[in-house]
Structure 1
Amino acid sequence: MTTLMVQGTTSDAGKSTLVTALCRWLRRQGVAVAPFKPQNMALNSAVTEDGGEIGRAQAVQAQAAGLAPHTDMNPVLLKPNSDIGAQVIIHGRAIDSMDAAAYHDYKRVAMDAVLQSHQRLSAAYPVVMVEGAGSPAEINLRAGDIANMGFAEAVDCPVILIADIDKGGVFAHLVGTLALLSESEQARIQGFVINRFRGDIALLQPGLDWLEQRTGKPVLGVLPYLMDFHLEAEDAIDQRQATKTGELLKVAVPVLPRISNHTDFDPLRLHPQVELSFVGPGQAIPPADLIILPGSKSVRADLAFLREQGWEAAIHRHLRYGGKLLGICGGLQMLGTRIDDPHGLEGAPGSSQGLGLLEFATVLEPEKQLRNVRGRLCLEDAPVSGYEIHAGVSTGAGLNGAVHLDDGRSDGALSADGRVLGTYLHGLFESGPACSAVLRWAGLREVRTVDYQALRERDIERLADLVEAHLDTQRLRELCGVGHA
């Protein structure tokens, strides 16, 4: 049984991408591999087959490995709900909210959960492909580390270090990171991967030769920059837009401080007939056909922020002029008359007045609702699938069922005038027929159906192709314990 870990010199260096690529590359060779991330800090999460939640990056890596997502793939998930605190999720279940100091003390317990999950995966799969978090050289986080070298030392596994040349300073990143590790940690680094290179590789070769001579570590390969490439972001919002022509539906999404599961909007960003705008602090909501209120980890605080930005008035003006409004999860809760947090789950206990656009109220309860669901959308009776992740329990006469679920429940609401739609369902736009129905409802006349799942599969395959073409696959096989091709 082999464990191989990918660590990065920085956040967004390409750790998630490389683990995804290696999982699909191994699967192509008939090797059973499981992805693993000891500790993840992200507000983008997915519901697993065993009824818990993990980071979305690990769900995509599971797809690359041909597996259903499982809580053991990400045993510790931190979901920030303030600048100094986060909800702590262990084995898929929220156990408490902690500030940074309290979590630092808790890390010994969290490490036990990490090692339990790793042991189970190691017993079930010949290869466990591990993703680190941030950088192993973050000095202030090294004590009690469970996310990078602390984990690698505990399970005695080799490490690949990846750096993003597109950021600049790639040799300083690699050499500097190596220099800040202990001797035993340095010995774990089995090679470097350079990510997102553009240009003539011959011009980079002198630097690669210098790096190998300076560190005594091999460069396992240089991955080129991929154009028109999409892989769900672990945390940062991907705002890249392709050039689009013809009739475009204008969609605006206010970016709330604790926006969650913004990967919901990737299918819209990639749709050839949608012009998607993320509206940041201090910006006015532009003229749009559809405004979408996204999910939120701190609904009452984010609703207050929305009002401070003047966006509530803009939303009412948008509706008066015939625009459409969609709320997803926390965005749905904002559409109601009231949000109560009696237990202080997302901040100080209290209540907030909602936008009052739909007749229902929400109470935040300690037991989080976690489900993968299927059903039919009230628009065109379109089939839809997705997932629920929310602490809110919503009740009221206005909940007339935007989605009729296969388990017999109904979800969300459509206003009497047909302009306001709300649902708890994340992943709404990943279902082609449901996405098309929403776009037609919002005003797009002739909609081209896009197969988002096929797009994701295409890009996972492209990543595996890059491994074959640009990395030292023989050395990778050795590190994975799978021998010769």
Structure 2
Amino acid sequence: MFQGTGSDVGKSLIVAGLCRLFARRGLRVRPFKPQNMSNNAAVTMDGGEIGRAQALQARAAGVEPSVHMNPVLLKPQSEIGSQVVVQGRVVGNARARDYQAMKPQLMPAVLDSFARLSEDADLVLVEGAGSPAEINLRAGDIANMGFARATDTPVVLIGDIDRGGVIASLVGTKAVMADDDAALVAGYLVNRFRGDVSLFDTGLAEITRRTGWSSFGVVPYFPEAGRLPAEDALGLKSRYHAGGEDGRKRIVVPVLPRIANFDDLDPLRQEPGVDVILAEPGRPLPAADLVLLPGSKATIPDLLALKAEGWDIDIRAHARQGGKVLGLCGGYQMLGRVLRDPERIESDIEIIEGLGLLDVETTMTGDKRLRPVKGVSMPDGTPFSGYEMHVGATVGSGRSRPFARLSDGSDEGAVSQDGNVVGSYCHGLLADDRQRARLLAWIGAATSALAYEAEIDRVLDGLADHLAAHLDIDGLLDLSRRRG
């Protein structure tokens, strides 16, 4: 099990790289994260949802994602707290304090999923959440040492030297842990080192002296990791162009408080013909060739936030002047005339006016639609594959001009009469090279030879090679324990 001294220390990528490395050695590898908190989720083939990082790790291991790879997923939304997803299915909502009381009830599902994965694996690589140093959350814990203790799983602690204070982080984590928890920590590794690694030899020696833990190595900074899909919205700013470079078309993305499935943007940031510009609160939207409204975990509260910034005025003005607008999932719902929430699923607001750029309206319903989809965009018949993940049903005359026709024969999405505004519930569209080329042509941007899916696999292979060169891989493998 790989735990961290804090969030965003690189646990997900370390596990992804090791999944690829051990799979290339011929082992049946499975990733596992007992509890995740993310609004960037993936749909499994059986119609459940898990954290996006576990889907990437499954890909690295060469297997289909399963709901058992992430049995508890928390999806933060507005005032009602977080949506709680257990083994791929929504079971309700909980505020932070209520969830703490709920955790012990979720441990059986976590252990069940872990047992199911273990039956079909030579090796399960487990990712923790946050940090075991958060001892205020230790009671009832299912994400870190609570899980490790329940399953007798050895732990490797990851520290991030790039953020500074890595010696104190690792030593301090040992200092606050209970002795029984600390006894399960077999060692540590240091991630994201820049410069001459030998300069940290004395640092490693001091960490080992103060903790009694073994070092499994120092991982130098791996810049190409930024080309892989991110799970945490905290890292969004550093992943996109600042904007305004000569010759590039400008794609402006309003960043709203509950942005979700933002990996839809990742393929665009690798295209040399466009700048992806994240519009931050407190500023008007910059001039754009395309305004892209991404998914949202809570569409109505995010629409309120968009209006509070005055961005609704900017977007309408952009559309009046012939500018292109694309709304995906929650962004599609915002583009309609009206959004209704009679059951108060997202907030206490029953009805709100949308942007009015598509002649559709949406009613929030209790059922969540989760499914992989395939189809062709209309009217040119360009194929695509992706997935749906949303609540709400959208109707209206605008749907007589659908964006796509799905493989089951149904129409999907809507297009404005002038063809400049498009809405779709399909995530993953832009990872399809054919659809991305179509969008680039729509806004007049230069296309490229980027094969996005092949690029992801190339980076995963490079990450595996990078870890093999800098970690004690055989030592890590020796930690694994047979289950019987």
User: What TM-score, normalized to structure 1?
Assistant: 0.96
The one-character-per-residue Cα deviations of 1:380-430 (angstroms, maximum 9, x if unpaired) are 422111110001111111112101111211110111101100100111110
Q: 1:233 aligns with which of 220, 230, 233?
A: 230
RMSD after superposition: 1.5
Report if the CA contact (8 A) 1:89-1:96 is conserved.
yes
Q: Which residue of 1 aligns with 2:142?
A: 146
The one-character-per-residue Cα deviations of 1:73-128 (angstroms, maximum 9, x if unpaired) are 00100000126710111111111111112212211221111111011111121211
AA at the equivalent of 1:343: E
Matched residue SS, 1:232: coil
Q: Which residue of 2 aligns with 1:330?
A: 330
The 2-side partners of 1:409 and 1:77 are apart by 30
Report if the CA contact (8 A) 2:19-2:31 is conserved.
yes
The 2-side partners of 1:449 and 1:432 are apart by 9
Q: Which residue of 2 aligns with 1:223?
A: 219
Q: Which residue of 2 aligns with 1:405?
A: 406
The one-character-per-residue Cα deviations of 1:216-248 (angstroms, maximum 9, x if unpaired) are 211101111112332222222433346997631
Q: 1:434 to 1:74 in 2, by over 3 A?
A: same
Q: Which residue of 1 aligns with 2:393?
A: 393
The 2-side partners of 1:291 and 1:41 are apart by 28
Residue 123 (structure 1) aligned with residue 119 (structure 2): yes
AA at the equivalent of 2:103: K
Give the Å deviation of 1:345: 1.2
Worse overlay, 416-425 or 344-353 = 344-353
Give the Å deviation of 1:306: 0.6
Q: Which residue of 2 aligns with 1:434?
A: 435
Give the Å deviation of 1:140: 2.1
The one-character-per-residue Cα deviations of 1:174-193 (angstroms, maximum 9, x if unpaired) are 00011111111111111111
AA at the equivalent of 2:290: L
Matched residue SS, 2:397: coil
Report if the CA contact (8 A) 1:433-1:449 is conserved.
no
Q: Which residue of 2 aligns with 1:107?
A: 103
Q: Which residue of 2 aligns with 1:191?
A: 187
* Matched residues, number: 477
The 2-side partners of 1:107 and 1:347 are apart by 24
Q: 5+ residue gaps in structure 1?
A: none
Q: How does 1:228-267 map to 2 (within 5 A)?
A: 228-229=224-225, 230-236=227-233, 237-239=235-237, 240-241=239-240, 247-267=247-267
AA at the equivalent of 1:256: L
Q: 1:77 aligns with which of 53, 73, 76?
A: 73
The 1-side partners of 2:3 and 2:80 are apart by 25
The 1-side partners of 2:304 and 2:379 are apart by 31
Give the Å deviation of 1:282: 0.5
The one-character-per-residue Cα deviations of 1:121-163 (angstroms, maximum 9, x if unpaired) are 1112121111000111112211111100001001111001001
Matched residue SS, 1:284: coil
The 1-side partners of 2:230 and 2:440 are apart by 24
Q: Which residue of 1 aligns with 2:340?
A: 340
Q: 1:55 aligns with which of 42, 51, 56?
A: 51
Q: How does 1:130-209 map to 2 (within 5 A)?
A: 130-209=126-205
Q: Which residue of 2 aligns with 1:94?
A: 90
The 2-side partners of 1:416 and 1:243 are apart by 33
The 2-side partners of 1:241 and 1:480 are apart by 38
Give the Å deviation of 1:164: 0.7
Report if the CA contact (8 A) 1:379-1:438 is conserved.
no
Q: 1:93 to 1:480 in 2, by over 3 A?
A: same
Matched residue SS, 1:179: helix
AA at the equivalent of 1:416: Q
AA at the equivalent of 2:231: E
AA at the equivalent of 1:426: H
The 1-side partners of 2:301 and 2:203 are apart by 49
Report if the CA contact (8 A) 1:137-1:180 is conserved.
yes
Residue 477 (structure 1) aligned with residue 473 (structure 2): no
Give the Å deviation of 1:323: 1.0
The one-character-per-residue Cα deviations of 1:319-359 (angstroms, maximum 9, x if unpaired) are 12221000000000011111111111112251111111111
AA at the equivalent of 1:417: D
Q: Which residue of 2 aligns with 1:31?
A: 27
AA at the equivalent of 1:200: D
The 2-side partners of 1:135 and 1:480 are apart by 21
Q: Which residue of 1 aligns with 2:459?
A: 459
Q: Which residue of 1 aligns with 2:317?
A: 317
The 2-side partners of 1:153 and 1:349 are apart by 44
Matched residue SS, 1:233: coil
- The runs of at least 4 consecutive aligned structure 1 residues that moved more than 4 Å come to 242-246
Worse overlay, 229-238 or 251-260 = 229-238
AA at the equivalent of 1:231: L
Worse overlay, 89-98 or 373-382 = 373-382
Report if the CA contact (8 A) 1:163-1:173 is conserved.
yes
AA at the equivalent of 1:450: L
Report if the CA contact (8 A) 1:380-1:437 is conserved.
no
The 2-side partners of 1:143 and 1:13 are apart by 23
Give the Å deviation of 1:283: 1.6
